[in-house]
Chains A and B, each alone.
Chain A
Amino acid sequence: MSLLLVGLGLGLAAALAGALTSARVRVLAAAVCSSGACVAAFVAAGRVLISGQTSTFRSLALLPFTGVSLSLDPLAALFIATTAVVGLAASCYGVGYAERGPRSRTATAMLPLFLTSLLLVPAAASVATFMVVWELMALTSTLLLLVEHRHRAEARDAAQWYGAMTHVGAAAILLGLVLLASHAGGQTFAVIRLHADRLSPTVRSLGFLLVLVGFTSKAGAVPFHVWLPRAHPEAPSPVSALMSASMVNLGIYGIVRVGDGLLGGGVLWWWLVVVGLGVVSALFGALHAAASSDLKRLLAYSTVDNIGLILIGVGAAGALEVTGHRLLATLSMLAALFQLVNHAAFKGCLFLGAGAVQQATGTRDLDRLGGLVRRLPLTALLFGIGALSISALPPFNGFASEWLLLQGLLHGFADHNAATAIALLAGVAALALTGGLTAAAFVKALGIGFLGQPRTPAAANAGEVAPSMLAGMALLAAPCLLLGVVPGTVVPMLRRAAETGLGVTSPDPLRAGLGLDLASVEGTIEPVLLLAALVAALVLAWCCARVFARRGARRAEAWGCGRELQTARMEYTATSFAEPLQRVFADVLRPDHDLEVTHVAESRYFEQAISYHNRVDDAFERTFYRPVIRLVETWGRFARRAQNGSLHRYLAFGLVALIVVFVVLA
């Protein structure tokens, strides 16, 4: 615990260094301090994950009335460790990013503060502490979103959406937690946990639903995801990485902490709702990711997809725990947490890679990129590792955790409850559909963005990014490979976190080893051996090719169907790549096309110009949020008429209010 406090102190020192030092040393000083903070937090969290011992900290002086109380248990430690690694990579990356990007004082000071709040949220052990650090996280991230508002008007729009969503969410969490705390008779988590079974079922369910709304809006699950595809692309890239790889996780953390931890599991329908949210988010996110041609927007939607997968795992775990299958519940929760850790690694790496592309070419529109593998070979390699991992290809980490998720769902059918079975089946179907769509989305990102011919001069003349940025990406690409090849090494820690989260102890769901080996049922993968077999097969195939084929390779023009000239404009673009999927899923995506053909004046048989527009808007935004916004605006106009500044009117309001109060009290 003391080490975590050292880390938090270093984080604050980094913020001060960013705010107070001169422009020359500002970025480096802040980066060094926040890297130190991340290392300290990682070590502190790692020790708790290995030993399984919980440590606590209380100080009455830091926060008036309630004091600050922190607690570091394995569940919190897992989230802190994950955030620390992403934070370290983002800090390292930030040094190179600031060299050619904006190096404002606000941004340099806010980033460490945001990072510190991310590290603090899982450690909070009382309602007051939790809400204070939660708000700190919300405010610093909103400010960071606005850093580049002078360059891009979209950033302002995004910050408005984000600010509104995050505060509605925070209000829901506050209401829910206060409701639970007031009925439990204390605001520390320990007290709520102790008195949870004395709460009436209505209060428990109402409290859970309120916090569920709040936490899923932070996690970016459908239908509260609308801020995510706006905010993540507009934030500076290290911040996008932190938001997408760490901040959304805290929504999951909140659901597990309150639903499973404080309320002790609750009732079955809670978790079926969670699975349902997960299924819808996974499908919706994957479809939009497959249809997007903006690189960062694609990544943001794929975060919605992955949060959906994690929610499916968390919901399945909750449902199985309620119905008494402890071992299977632990297995599902472990799988969900593993997916979360892996998602942090590959999504962080991908967002940093997208930032590198944006810095090198000035655009993140895939239709304007291409051929970057020759201009940015290392970025392409690291982005490629992230893309293959998220597509769940063996032997990368996404495969290991998706396999585990599938096993959890498959063996969950041992429960004979019809509702659970339907939810699990929907979960598997969603997992299967998103698997293929994610592969399509990332083949598009990698193939259109990095392979082929450059589509614009900016892409053709791009240069490799700074070494510190590459180091940041490599720091997150390494776990993608390591956790994929030897997933068994982190299983004991994940199991401790899963058991703390669920508040149960169960026999070990997995046998010890380098691979994943289910203990109670048959099911094993040994990625090390699979990788060895793959390498052996590769070497064998290569040797065969060398022995039999003696003639070398020659370069020639690509086949153009007899056409003489082949330019980059004839290449398939991201939009055209996604068109078949967009057409197949037109009912969900509701794409907006517009084709205008201008004919030559002399003859209608010849075309002078063709313009084609294709837009895919968010269906939820159009059908739900727009009407709500219009309603709020109407109400705002009404309120403005009522508040015209006249003192007489305000006195009348006061009088009426007083009379109403008297009537009510009488």
Chain B
Amino acid sequence: MITAIGASGLGPSVAASLVQLVAVVLGGPLLVGLMAKVRARAEGRTGAPIRQPLLDLRKLVGKECVHAEHSSVVLSVAPFVLVSSAAVAVAITPLVTTSPALRQSADLFVIVYLLLTGSVALALAGLDPGTAFGGMGASRAMTIGALAEPALLVAVLALSVQARTSNLPAIVSATLAHPAWAASPERLCALVALVVVVIAETGRIPVDNPSTHLELTMIHEAMILEYAGPELGLVTLGEAMRLGLLFALVANLFFPWGIATTTGAIPVLIGLVVLGAKTTAIAFAIALLEVSTAKLRLFRVPELLAGGFVLAVLAVVAGLVTR
């Protein structure tokens, strides 16, 4: 299957990857802005324009970089590691087309561990200045990450067992070929588990509140408290890219229709538009979920993630029973 798609040359697939990268670099912040807008409207406010995160990025780039007194080189390297690991993950995942560059290596486990690389870099950066808040954020983020990881990997396994491979383009193509899979019990269980993980990994309510201004309740924001200027911009961009990637991944794993199966200009364009529509829908849904729930206490979050894990295990079991 993959070899047939792989007949197209290297150039077009690299171009497709770059299209995906640009789409996520611009689209990720827009999704964040959209979710803030939906929230504001639901609460009866006008809210900032959707493109506000992009404007913020431009503002941050022009500012001065400030490093904490006791920080080392780790603090300034981490944002680059975060952004580049996210960029590689975006470039090789089938988002707009099923044949981006390096698609043979676009393994689900590779994507999971690339995202983990970014999280580890940020946690180390949180500990680097040697402050109480940074350590608090890093500790909480790693705890939640450690609990989200099993749910994520087992949900991924459920999809892989069904498709008999963990190669992403192959899973997406197989779903296109077997539309009934999308409604199978293992897919539905895995979908719920993955949504829980996505909420945890992107730091949304009920796991973390992205707009909190109280240090003691922060998770992600506490970890990046020492960042300023362009480096803060890179961190926010990296986080927005990860959000965009995870939304797009959920969309394509469970509802891949519309994705380009070649690297031709027209299908890629269609794929781009469809991807935009799908991720917008997910952003809407999660924003509404955020408005309607309260943030969980930190020590209630493990229960939510354990629920995700159990659902993921159920997904695998369902897959094994029904085959």
Q: B-contacting residues of A (Cβ < 8 Å)?
A: 290, 370-371, 373-374, 388, 391-394, 399, 403, 406-407, 410-411, 413-414, 421, 425, 428-429, 431-433, 435-437, 439-440, 443-444, 446-448, 451-453, 515, 517, 521-526, 529-530, 533-534, 537-538, 540-542, 545, 548-549, 551-561, 566, 568, 570-573, 576-581, 583-584
B46 within 8 Å of A by Cβ?
A: no
Contact at A558–B87, with CB atoms within 8 Å?
no
B147 within 8 Å of A by Cβ?
A: yes
B-chain residues with CB within 8 Å of residue A549 when the two chains form the complex: 61-62, 65, 229-230
B199 within 8 Å of A by Cβ?
A: no
- Nearest 8 Cβ contacts at the A-B interface: A572-B135, A452-B130, A447-B127, A436-B146, A436-B149, A537-B84, A432-B153, A549-B230
B277 within 8 Å of A by Cβ?
A: no
- Given the known interface contacts A428-B157, A429-B154, A429-B313, the answer about A443 and B65 at a Cβ–Cβ threshold of 8 Å is no
Task: Pick the interface stretch among B104-112, B182-190, B266-274.
Answer: B104-112
- Given the known interface contacts A451-B74, A530-B110, A577-B139, the answer about A439 and B84 at a Cβ–Cβ threshold of 8 Å is no
Contact at A533–B65, with CB atoms within 8 Å?
no
**Which residues in window 82-126 of B have CB below 8 A to A?**
83-85, 87-88, 91-92, 102, 104-105, 107, 109-110, 113-114, 116-117, 119-120, 123-124, 126
Q: How far does the alpha carbon of A559 sit from the alpha carbon of B84 in the complex, in Å?
A: 27
Q: How far does the alpha carbon of A53 sit from the alpha carbon of B252 in the complex, in Å?
A: 50
Contact at B85–A436, with CB atoms within 8 Å?
no
- Given the known interface contacts A436-B145, A553-B76, the answer about A394 and B131 at a Cβ–Cβ threshold of 8 Å is no
Contact at B83–A576, with CB atoms within 8 Å?
no
B43 within 8 Å of A by Cβ?
A: no
- Given the known interface contacts A431-B153, A533-B88, A584-B299, the answer about A410 and B124 at a Cβ–Cβ threshold of 8 Å is no
- Given the known interface contacts A425-B317, A537-B83, A555-B69, the answer about A560 and B131 at a Cβ–Cβ threshold of 8 Å is yes
Q: A-contacting residues of B (Cβ < 8 Å)?
A: 2, 61-74, 76, 80-81, 83-85, 87-88, 91-92, 102, 104-105, 107, 109-110, 113-114, 116-117, 119-120, 123-124, 126-136, 138-140, 142-143, 145-150, 152-154, 157, 160-161, 164-167, 170, 215, 225-226, 229-230, 234, 298-299, 302, 309, 313, 316-317, 320
Contact at B230–A548, with CB atoms within 8 Å?
yes
Contact at A523–B167, with CB atoms within 8 Å?
yes
- Given the known interface contacts A443-B138, A524-B167, A555-B67, the answer about A413 and B302 at a Cβ–Cβ threshold of 8 Å is no
B-chain residues with CB within 8 Å of residue A557 when the two chains form the complex: 68-69
Q: How far does the alpha carbon of A391 sit from the alpha carbon of B115 in the complex, in Å?
A: 13
Contact at A583–B72, with CB atoms within 8 Å?
no
Q: Which residue of A lies closest to B146 (CB)?
A: A436
Q: How far does the alpha carbon of A452 sit from the alpha carbon of B75 in the complex, in Å?
A: 10
B-chain residues with CB within 8 Å of residue A374 when the two chains form the complex: 72
A-chain residues with CB within 8 Å of residue B102 when the two chains form the complex: 526, 529-530, 533
Q: How far does the alpha carbon of A374 sit from the alpha carbon of B274 in the complex, in Å?
A: 50
- 5 of the cross-chain contacts (CB-CB < 8 Å) are A371-B130, A452-B130, A521-B164, A552-B65, A560-B131
Q: How far does the alpha carbon of A566 sit from the alpha carbon of B133 in the complex, in Å?
A: 12
- Given the known interface contacts A525-B107, A529-B102, A541-B80, the answer about A373 and B72 at a Cβ–Cβ threshold of 8 Å is yes
- Given the known interface contacts A522-B170, A524-B104, A580-B143, the answer about A410 and B67 at a Cβ–Cβ threshold of 8 Å is no
B-chain residues with CB within 8 Å of residue A410 when the two chains form the complex: 157, 160-161, 166
Contact of B226 among A388, A558, A577, A579 (CB under 8 A): A558
CB distance from B30 to the nearest CB of A (A): 19
CB distance from A525 to the nearest CB of B (A): 5
Contact at A447–B123, with CB atoms within 8 Å?
yes
Q: Which residue of A lies closest to B169 (CB)?
A: A522
A-chain residues with CB within 8 Å of residue B161 when the two chains form the complex: 410, 413
B-chain residues with CB within 8 Å of residue A411 when the two chains form the complex: 164
Q: How far does the alpha carbon of A521 sit from the alpha carbon of B174 in the complex, in Å?
A: 14
Contact of A542 among B71, B80, B88, B317 (CB under 8 A): B80
A-chain residues with CB within 8 Å of residue B131 when the two chains form the complex: 558-560, 566, 570-571
Contact at B65–A523, with CB atoms within 8 Å?
no
Contact at A440–B146, with CB atoms within 8 Å?
yes
A-chain residues with CB within 8 Å of residue B309 when the two chains form the complex: 429
Q: How far does the alpha carbon of A437 sit from the alpha carbon of B127 in the complex, in Å?
A: 17
CB distance from A418 to the nearest CB of B (A): 8
Contact at B138–A572, with CB atoms within 8 Å?
yes
CB distance from B189 to the nearest CB of A (A): 14
Q: Which residue of A lies closest to B72 (CB)?
A: A373
Contact at B67–A451, with CB atoms within 8 Å?
no
Q: Which residue of B lies closest to A572 (CB)?
A: B135
Contact at B107–A393, with CB atoms within 8 Å?
no
CB distance from A331 to the nearest CB of B (A): 14
Contact at B92–A533, with CB atoms within 8 Å?
yes
A-chain residues with CB within 8 Å of residue B149 when the two chains form the complex: 432-433, 435-436, 439
Most buried by B among A446, A525, A570, A584: A584
- Given the known interface contacts A522-B170, A526-B104, the answer about A451 and B127 at a Cβ–Cβ threshold of 8 Å is yes
A-chain residues with CB within 8 Å of residue B80 when the two chains form the complex: 538, 541-542, 545
A-chain residues with CB within 8 Å of residue B136 when the two chains form the complex: 572
- Given the known interface contacts A435-B153, A530-B110, the answer about A443 and B143 at a Cβ–Cβ threshold of 8 Å is no
Q: How far does the alpha carbon of A572 sit from the alpha carbon of B124 in the complex, in Å?
A: 12
Contact of B87 among A453, A541, A556 (CB under 8 A): A541
Contact at B116–A393, with CB atoms within 8 Å?
yes
Q: Which residue of B lies closest to A548 (CB)?
A: B61
Q: How far does the alpha carbon of A393 sit from the alpha carbon of B117 in the complex, in Å?
A: 6
Q: How far does the alpha carbon of A391 sit from the alpha carbon of B121 in the complex, in Å?
A: 12
Q: Which residue of A lies closest to B61 (CB)?
A: A548
CB distance from A304 to the nearest CB of B (A): 17
Q: How far does the alpha carbon of A411 sit from the alpha carbon of B100 in the complex, in Å?
A: 25
Contact at B68–A558, with CB atoms within 8 Å?
yes
CB distance from A325 to the nearest CB of B (A): 14
Contact of B117 among A371, A394, A407, A525 (CB under 8 A): A394
Q: How far does the alpha carbon of A540 sit from the alpha carbon of B272 in the complex, in Å?
A: 23
Most buried by A among B134, B146, B234: B146
CB distance from B221 to the nearest CB of A (A): 11
CB distance from A487 to the nearest CB of B (A): 12
A-chain residues with CB within 8 Å of residue B68 when the two chains form the complex: 555-559
Q: How far does the alpha carbon of A425 sit from the alpha carbon of B72 in the complex, in Å?
A: 42
Contact at B234–A545, with CB atoms within 8 Å?
yes
CB distance from B84 to the nearest CB of A (A): 3
Q: How far does the alpha carbon of A448 sit from the alpha carbon of B138 in the complex, in Å?
A: 11
Contact at A443–B132, with CB atoms within 8 Å?
no
CB distance from B89 to the nearest CB of A (A): 10
Contact at A572–B134, with CB atoms within 8 Å?
yes
Contact at A393–B66, with CB atoms within 8 Å?
no
A-chain residues with CB within 8 Å of residue B130 when the two chains form the complex: 370-371, 451-453, 558, 568, 571
Contact at A581–B229, with CB atoms within 8 Å?
no
A-chain residues with CB within 8 Å of residue B299 when the two chains form the complex: 580, 583-584
Contact at B139–A579, with CB atoms within 8 Å?
yes
Contact at A403–B143, with CB atoms within 8 Å?
no
